[in-house]
Structure 1
Amino acid sequence: MKPAAVLAVARKEVRHLLRDARSLAQMFLLPAMMLFIYGYAIRLDVVHAPIGLLQEAPDAASRELAAHVGASLAFRVVRHFHDRAELREAVAAREVWAALVIPGDYARELAAGHAVVQLVLDGMDANTARLMRNYVLQLVNERALAMGRPASMVTVQARTWFNETNESRYAIVPGVIVMVMGVVGALMTALTIAREMESGNLVMLRTTPLTRGEFLAGKLLPYFAVGMIDVLGCVAAAVYVFEVPLRGSLLELAAASALFLLVVMAQGALISLLAGNQILASQMVQITTFLPAFLLSGAIYAIANMPMPVQWITAVVPARYFVALCKAIFLKGTTFAVLWVHIAALSAVLLALGLALLRRSRVLGLQP
């Protein structure tokens, strides 16, 4: 091996890197993004989780237990309920992740030697529900020991709603559908347009009366059809293979999926126009779709457990809104009348991406 030859090739590669500013920026940006996202977004514990309290009797023992729960760093008491109907509505609307019910006879039963409290958990995120149950058990036991009583003196009767069997796949499978749709939809679109730019086929198209809008629509339409077939296949596998209950409307789920698919396809098309070649386009798709969809969408890790700056960043991640739609339609049977905020957010993202795509499509050289 000749050192001079090795150095000559290395100098050539350094010049190439310095000329290719996009690849060089990506080499530094990707590690920084991964370190930031993995370091801040992933939390396997519960911090300031929203919880509600229902005290059926205003006695001192109930107030002491409620105060002990509210003082914990694990929970943030956001609601004090007046009755169980109000509690059901709050849990169904995801205003609270759990609700602790202190019965009216709690003080009397505690004085008699054994008391029972009830804990209602939202099972849309099975892992978080299990963590919250363990935290509540610990807090109740701590309170009993502080009173000089045995920990077994207070029993916590936990009930998980929307996921009675506490199966983690109930929450994971709808989230995986979102990640699959996001990556596949964006990647298919990005590669097909980048391929046309890379191969030089656009030169021939410029001699035709084809407009930029017609070119983009014609390119996206077949992949939209394929994507919707993939959606139906994923939903069928979720229901019949993984046995995840579909409690909501299949039509509403299909409509939400179509909207999200349009968003990620517009994102993929914009990426291809910015990248100009298939390799860079595929890498940009992985960074801008897979990582955010996996870590910042709420599919695996609860957004409310993340630091506030990271929660603000998730507001621009389209997968966040589709994850909320998917889980609510699958597990709760929620309708668009309740989920309109997520629909509006996805529509706004689609509009912004569409305008940016039309503006950037000038590089195609086709007619406006």
Structure 2
Amino acid sequence: MPHPVKLLYIIDSFTSPYAGTEGQLYKLIEGLDRDQFQPHLILFNCSQYIEQNGFPCGVSVLGYSKLSSLNTWWELFKLLRKKKIDGYQLAHIFFNDPSIIAPPLLKLLGIKSIISRRDMGYWYTPSYLKALRFNAKLVDAAIVNSRAVKEITCEKEGYKPANVHVVYNGYQDIEILAANKIDLRQSDDEIVLGIVANIRPIKRMQDAINAVAQLTCKGFKLRLVIVGGGDPSDLKALADNLNVLDRVEFVGSQSKASDYIQGFDICLLCSESEGFSNAIVEYMQHSKPVVCSAVGGNPECVDDGKTGFLYEAGDVSELTEIINALVEAKDAAETRAAFGREAQRKVAENLTLPVMLAHQEELYINVLNER
């Protein structure tokens, strides 16, 4: 029986298995076929999570992370050289700074490399792009989590489309237990809107608050529940100014967002940029209708008029009209239920963890076999 392929993963830090990219990386490493692959994680910096919980594979900590420091480059080179001697043949790189530093060193050492891109490049700067376009000539393949991310990666970083592979995020089957459902209503006739996302400007949560304010003025009984970390003070001030502070609830970061999602009637995501939203898939897994901005990979996930509705990011009027339709129409409750059933079916058929793992493992073998 052939020996398993020794495979490196390189990332600057790992703080939580519940975060988007880090969560997918954790599931990938945990689920790899150990008969085929022997993974090892390289971290630029250690984290409290790793120290307290460990990881599903061996971990090496560089101890340096400053991009402009020669020590970072030298220490990573020495570590990669050791891993090369130990038989590691392929490296998969995540996040920004490792994408700058690692490819030239891996190329120099004869280790093949793959980079991952999982967003629409909101972090690009002219200096980053200059280095990334150079590195695109050194990297053997790129993995992206949506067609939209593929398009921006090819356009901005200069990758050839044939070298960029779409592998959608993979999700484990979930058991939705009614006993864990959190009842968020304060009255039986209240409709609960929900957002699961950390509070950041890019998420445009103010649009949802404005929509709630407009619909509340029309007499609708709505409650907006926001599940995610971050400072809510500006959003609370907005809700107060619009006289809907009692209609908006901030519950902070939660380890089991699913308990809250079960209590949502309509799930929202108002972002101005998304690669492929894990929150949307969680909504769909819970058989919930989704209303989200038509940005990035969102239209690849949500079928407009079938599993939910898409609207132009920042268009509060359109967002308000859609929520109105899902609340006011005579058959609104059945429409929401039908959207939710179709959403759950789509995830179960197309976005499973085994499908993601099979595509990743196939790509690793193909890259290794290319001359």
TM-score, normalisation: structure 1: 0.24
TM-score, normalisation: structure 2: 0.24
The structure where strand makes up a greater share of residues is: 2
Greater relative contact order (Cα 8 A, min sep 6): structure 1 or 2? 1
